Structure formats: C-alpha cells, structure tokens
Amino acid sequence: MAKLIIKDLHVGINEKEILKGVNLEVDSHEIHAIMGPNGQGKSTLLSAIMGDPKFTITKGSISFDGKDVLAMSVDERSRMGIFLGMQYPAEIPGVNNSDFMRAAMNARLEKPISLFKFIKEMEGAIEDLGLSSEMAHRNLNEGFSGGEKKRNEIVQMKLLKPNLAMLDEIDSGLDVDALQIVANAVYDLFNSQELSLLIVSHYERFLDLIKPTHVHVLLDGKIQETGGYELIKKIDSEGYDWVYDKYGVEKPAIQTRMSLDACGAKK
Amino acid sequence: MEQLVGNTNLTLVDSQVEIYELHDTQELNITTTEQTKSELVIRLVENTNVNCRIALAPYSELHILFDNETKQANINVVADVKRGASIRLGMYELSESTVKEQVLVNLLDQEAKAKVISTSISSTSKDFDIECIHHAPNTSSDMNNFEISDAGANYTLRACGTIKKGAVGSKSHQMSRILTTSENQISKATPVLLIDENDVMASHANSMGKMDDQHLYYLTSRGMDEKQAKELLTLSYLLPISEVFDNEDIRSDYINKVRSRVGL
C-alpha cells in the first residue's frame, strides 16, 4: 500500500525559504486537505513533491511507497503514480491535447495503447468532465478558459490513474455546476482504485463534496494544526486569526493601496 | 509522382492533386483556371536555382508546398492572386542545405487571400524573405513561420505585410516562432508591417528562445521523459506545415515525415 511520508521538508525559491520543516504522512486511501492563508507554502509543498525545478529542497525527505522521491526525476515520480493537478497549467502552443495525452499514457505502458482504445478512453473522460469533444484536438491548454484548464487536468488524472493525486486549487475558476462535476469525477476515481488525495483548496463547498479524512493548516511554512472535517467548518466560520494567535505567528501586514491622488497627476 | 525536366509551364485543372519532382528545371510557371481547386507538392531534388511564377485565376484555390531536398538552393516564388482566389503556400526546409528562399505574394484584386507557412530546421545558413502585398481592398494574408535553430545555424527571416494605399478592409497578420537549441547559432527575425491605408487590420507576433522550462516540467510531470517531452515540443514547430493541404494522403505523409524527423 503506497504511503507518502514527508519529514522536516525545507523548500526555497531564489534563496527565500518558503517551507520551514513540513512533516506529513498520507496513507493509502486517505484524503488530506491542506488549508491556510495565501502565500504560506501550500502550492510550494505540492510542487516540491512533484519536482518543479523552480524550487530547491534544502533539507528533509519525501518518500512514496518506500522509495526516495527526491532522488527521482519528475517523469519518474509521475510514472510511479504521483500526479499534480496544477493551479496554473502551462499553455503549450502547437502541442495537440490528444497527442500529448497519448504520449503520457504510452510513457507508462510497455506496449503502446491502441488508437481505438485511446480514443475511447479520452472521449469518455472528456465527456465525464462535461467538456466538448473538440477539446481533444485543441492545443494543450491554449485558449482554454480557466474552468476548461482545470477540467482538463482532471481528464488527465482519469486517464493516468495515479496512486497519489495532488490537486492544487483545482476548484478555483469553476462555476457551481463544474465544481460538482469535478468533485464527482475525483470522488468516483477515489472509490474505484487505490488512490490517496492531497488537496489544496480555499473553499468549503469543494471540500464538502470531497469529504477529507484529514485537514491540515499550513502557516509560516509549517503544518501548524491538524484535525478532521470539523477544522474546515471552524476555518470557514472563524477564518485563520485563531491559528496565528495559537501558534504565535505574526500576521502579515495588510498593504495599503496607493490612492489615485498620490500618483502625481495633480495640477 | 511526375518528374519535371527542363523549364516547364503547368496549367492546373480542377481537383488536381500532384507531386512533382524537379530536376534541372530553373523556370516553372504555374497557372490555375477559374473556379478550380488543386494541390501540388514541388519537390526539389537537384536544382540549385528555381524561379517559380504562379498565376491564380479568379476564384481559384491552390495549395502548394515547396519541399527542398537539395544541397544548396535558391528558391524564388512570386504568386499573383486575382479576385476571390486563394493560395496556401508552404516552404518546407528540413534539409541540411544552405538556402535562400524568397516568396512574394501579390494580392491583386478584391477578396484575394494568402496563407504562407514556412517550416525549417537549420544547422547551416538559411535565409527567408517572405512578403505579402495587398494591392486591393478586402484582401487578407497570414504568414506563419516556424524555425528550429540547431548548432551552426545562421537563420535570417524577414516577414513583411504591405498594405498599399486603397486596400481598405485588408487584413495582414504574421506570427513567427523560433526555437533555439544551442548557444552556438545565430537567428534573426524581422517582422515588418508597411501600412499605407486606414481601416485595415494588421498584427505581428514573434518569439525566439530555448525551450520553456515550465513547458518541459508540465510534460514530464505526466510521465514523459525529457527526451520525449522535447520531441513533442519540437513537433509543435513542424506539424503546422501539414495544414497546407486538404488532401488526407499528402497531409498524413507530411505528418509522418516530421514525426520521423523528430524520432516519434
């Protein structure tokens, strides 16, 4: 049974430390939600697990299914079953969505998938996510709306069948109906195979539909608070002030906006 | 496939789909007839200098690709497009030749249209000069240029959209993408718009640089190794050439050609 174990993880970007010692264990078939104010390192954590070259790991370890994740290249991590549904998926001009997906699926198969089987699976996944069939022939994420990009991430997740799926604010940019469709697709996949979920979201509505088994609050680069579903309700009604107070973390100052009369357009 | 030997005049008939091999032809004149549609591949096998003059009759449509396989070539194409006619013109240049290619499209009458696509991989000196001139109202042109500059490349592109006085309602668009795979190459692109009329639409876009790290990260995060990801990104620069054709056989022939060129 694949288990994710993160120990004392420190991650930085451009010499700025963002994660300052994250410890986390995600067992098989658990759903973990990571919450927290903006800019505290939630996306950085998921990106570091996937291997985004923008970030530098300065200390700590990540293992999945007993293997050292940090020693693996990004593609090796993917092929061992780690998937990241990205907050801002790259727009890649000229790369056709279906060519890309077929290459991604073939990368984890000994024998290439037959064209017939691939088309059937891709069309099925696209339909399940309520997208138009022409999505398969468009360039990867190019000109997609925010909601289409997020749904296309879930299409990929369905086709690649990961064991650990990380979803980074996959609910932002989705309307209420699309949110339901995405949540159903994620939840169906969770129930149909061995899958753990690590979800970053700000919204109670999405988490209500996904029903996390564990909830964590990431603040100042560390997981400060861990609990169950009740934590989501508390954050939804009270915000994060109490977490700042409880762990003695200084709340970032709210930057005041420059007013127009300060722009030098007087006289 | 038909071989052309010596200077040649071709008059195209409706629905003609043909692949010609040019051997020692230096002058090639192609003429369409009114309200016909035809598709041609002109494969240069041993020529070094080719002058091609194309005359599109009113309301005719021509899709034509120049595919250079020679060691050194100087290709000069001039196309005159009459009322309501349209040309799709492709320059396919994946050889290791030193080449100079000049394309001039004259949109002579109302509703004349042109789409020019150039695709090249360079490790030698390659020089492209592509121009569409709008002489009449409501004409449109679209130039798309794709280049992969490998080590040793000395690539030059000048793409120019010219809208003459009186060509109101015309549209001139161009987009060039240049991928550099080595520090040991020189690539220059000059997008030009010369506009002498109001009430027109014109745009140019140009990108040049190495493969985007975030693109590679996105593709590898789905399981492709770096080599496969780079091949897929490379393919995106070459596949547009297949859009010159409607004919499925020729189109898939070129899709397969570029796929095998990048190892897919």
* Nearest-neighbour CA in chain A from B156: distance (Å): 22
pLDDT digits (tens, 9 = 90+) for A35-78: 999 889 999 999 999 999 999 999 999 999 999 999 999 999 99
pLDDT digits (tens, 9 = 90+) for A138-177: 989 988 988 999 999 999 999 999 999 999 999 888 888 8
pLDDT of chain B, 264 residues: tens digit per residue? 888 888 889 999 999 999 999 887 789 999 999 999 999 999 998 867 899 999 999 999 999 999 998 888 899 999 999 999 999 999 999 888 899 999 999 999 999 999 999 999 999 999 999 999 999 999 999 999 999 999 999 999 999 999 999 999 999 999 999 999 899 999 999 999 999 999 999 999 999 999 899 999 999 999 999 988 988 898 889 989 999 999 999 999 998 988 888 766
The sign of the CA dihedral B43, B44, B45, B51 is positive
Specify whether the CB–CB gap between B66 and B97 falls below 8 A: no
Residue keyed to tokens 């727009």: A91
Q: Is the pLDDT of residue A267 over 80?
A: no
List b or e across B230-261, with b for residues whose CB sees 16 or more CB atoms inside 10 angstroms. Answer: bbbbbbbbbbbbbebbeeeebbeebeeebbee
Q: To which CATH superfamily is domain A4-248 assigned?
A: P-loop containing nucleotide triphosphate hydrolases (3.40.50.300)
Confidence band for A255, pLDDT divided at 50, 70 and 90: low
Across the interface, do A73 and B222 touch by the CB < 8 Å criterion? Answer: no
Which residues make Cβ contacts (< 8 Å) with residue A172, sequence separation at least 6? Answer: A87, A146, A150, A202, A203
Closest CA to B211 of B188, B237, B238, B185: B237
Chain B environment of A164 (Cβ under 8 Å): none
* Nearest-neighbour CA in chain B from A94: distance (Å): 4
Specify whether the CB–CB gap between A216 and A45 falls below 8 A: no
Closest CA to B65 of B32, B27, B39: B39
B190 or A249: which leads in pLDDT? B190
Q: Is the pLDDT of residue A262 over 50?
A: yes
Name the average pLDDT for chain A: 91
Q: Is the pLDDT of residue A123 over 60?
A: yes
Amino acid A113: pLDDT: 92
ipTM value: 0.92
A262 or A233: which leads in pLDDT? A233
Amino acid A261: pLDDT: 58
C-alpha radius of gyration, chain A, whole number: 20
Q: Is the pLDDT of residue A99 over 60?
A: yes
SS3 B189: strand
Q: Is the pLDDT of residue A264 over 60?
A: no
**DSSP code for A150:** H
**Chain B residue at shortest CA distance from A91:** B215
Out of A54, A86, A99, the one facing B232 most closely (by C-beta) is A99
Chain B environment of A74 (Cβ under 8 Å): 217, 220-221
Out of B214, B221, B226, the one facing A78 most closely (by C-beta) is B221
Amino acid B193: pLDDT: 97
Residue spans per domain, chain A = 4-248
Chain B environment of A51 (Cβ under 8 Å): 217, 221
Across the interface, do A94 and B226 touch by the CB < 8 Å criterion? Answer: no
Candidates A54, A55, A88, A92: best to mutate against B (most CBs of B within 10 A) is: A92
Decide if B225 touches A, using CB distance below 8 A: yes
Residue spans per domain, chain B = 2-211
Amino acid B259: pLDDT: 83
Amino acid A105: pLDDT: 95
Chain B environment of A115 (Cβ under 8 Å): none
Beta bridge partners of B201: B171
